[in-house]
Structure 1
């Protein structure tokens, strides 16, 4: 993998969202189709603002029905308990054997706040600051069990090495968490964090905490500018910018089959629509757009939302992805087993194992 990563692996992901669908079978079918195409991960949106199944629960159902593809549900940090959120995401990482991600989002409306009755809606910048704190405490809780903390020694009756459990003692703006977690450290160490960094309020949080930043942009120039801004901000936060993957998010309408893309689409880029940047054309032109943007280091990959879920995902995998594989631009098999491996991201070191920080027994270093 190259130091700039933009010249390295192409990353592709797809959304599984489908309005009004509660049957698990349709989600499983599409996740398997995406896996057959070698996609890095699938996402499933979630919000308190409209009816729908719980995304994390749906992807937990998909986990045993798939083997390699990453699973990234949206889990909102507003009105939810950070301790419960991290435990749920860690559990998904365990049941999927290291394929979990977490798309971090916030809830901004008073109507959503009334569903919980705990507090009123807050300004967006405050909510994204809180989301960053939730991401930070999740990392600490995931590290609160060192690798090897479970002993499971029947002869002595010892289940846990207490010296390998650690207090977190985190105090944020709106919450505090002591820890340790109730779930052992996830297989990936830290499940992959995904943030839609299109809006300015979310961009700072993404630069500081995200492994994958999604950007909804309608031109290559705009995508390149946002990617550079995110990488520069990540560096200012003390991160290696090569540890951040920036993916362009597009709606894709492949209903025109092999017809040429509409003017302004294809190699020229998508068009802006009320729903976001939208590509409409055939799989061949979409492959050309993806190849061009990636080769020019505009983005590290693409997150694609099918306009018509089944039809467009089939054409994406059987057409666009197959063409990219034929050109040697995209994988034909998964060389690793975890989502971090798909993305070329290392497993984070456990901060407590490295520093010998405060243990669960209360002893200080």
Structure 2
């Protein structure tokens, strides 16, 4: 099952005009590592972010040959990456070409970008990063999650099982604006794609770097399910290209922030109204609320809820453990989430 139309799956959750306001007591103790639990209530849809990952190596890029990167790492010898892993560029050491006061010359800017590692030869990894990093840029390598690692090969998460997605809870994985549904088959005892309910084992399906998850629960399933994430927060900002239409974007941070403090207004295209601006949808308790950055006109400037073009919505909470739905409709070509309180 694929939901290609944004309106086809927006119908899974109601839109709300109520702002989600920040609360200081929701801030975690640590922004670098820890534990976070997210509720998946029955009968509702949850935008599920993954705030933690298992980092297996870090270091600097010592040589670049197109998509092949030679790495100086810690540990000194890269572990054998026998399962799916990704590399994330966590700094831009060479700042040439970034402004009028920058040193002469140019450099690439891969800071915040991540991609799956497709091959490894000792310290050399091959990866299709959209922007090639510079020598000296820092990186981390982390394990990619799969359906089985997140929800259990035997559905230890206790999602509602069924013979098809018509009766089972559905896990949608997002990539480039498209949602593909999966469910746990009650007879075969395997994960299967909603489009092919009678065949296959989809447990090894990966959650791509930067992608997020929508969990659509049936009303007659377990009343409340909790998903617990543990590990390390991926350092630095998260950067990716924007596609026209809807994208479900992972929020990889364990620290709460607000729309005003997030820096998102730097990357989204604002407008005098929601129809002419990019829109950020945030979810709370199964309800989606839309916001845009008002750049002028009647009602002033700043973050606004779709239904109210005058009230300041800058205090709206961007919660850890929650993914973000981004609607690009105003010409943005790139998007970045800054690491809260670090940039």
Please, what TM-score do these two structures have when normalized by structure 1? Answer: 0.27
TM superposition score normalised by structure 2: 0.28
Identify the structure with bigger relative contact order (alpha carbons < 8 Å, sequence gap 6+): 2
Say which structure is richer in strand: 2
